[in-house]
Amino acid sequence: MKYLDTLPYGRVMFEFDKKIIEKYGTPRSFELIPYWTKQAGMEGLLVESSLTAPFHYINQAELSVKPRGTVAGWSVPGRDYEKAMIHLKYMNVLHYGKLTGSYR
């Protein structure tokens, strides 16, 4: 969170990696990015209730080796980094990276 707070303002997206996320306790912890930093996050409380939820899951699937499951009945594409970069721009995501701190 300290590192994210040093970046210029912009929405944050992270690659889903279950092993790394488990070190932080829960994937829900990333919903707190806006609380602890000046950044906006892609995930929020009850992401499934958001109009942008399908696009979040598409972005996550395109970026992750093993993406998190989506809402029942939704399908997502496979991993495609080039398409993901285009889609992240649509969502105004300026910072993307693995949870190891390698944000761009």
Which sequence spans correspond to the domains of the chain? 2-97
Give percent of the chain above pLDDT 70. Answer: 84
Mean pLDDT of the chain: 79
| 20: pLDDT strictly greater than 80 | no
pTM: 0.68
- Two structure tokens written together for 92: 């105004």
pLDDT tens digits along 39-79? 887 776 666 667 777 888 888 889 888 787 677 777 888 89
Radius of gyration of the chain (CA): 13
Counting every residue written for the chain, the total comes to 104
- Two structure tokens written together for 74: 């939704």
Using CA atoms, how far apart are residues 75 and 72, in angstroms rounded to an integer?
Answer: 8
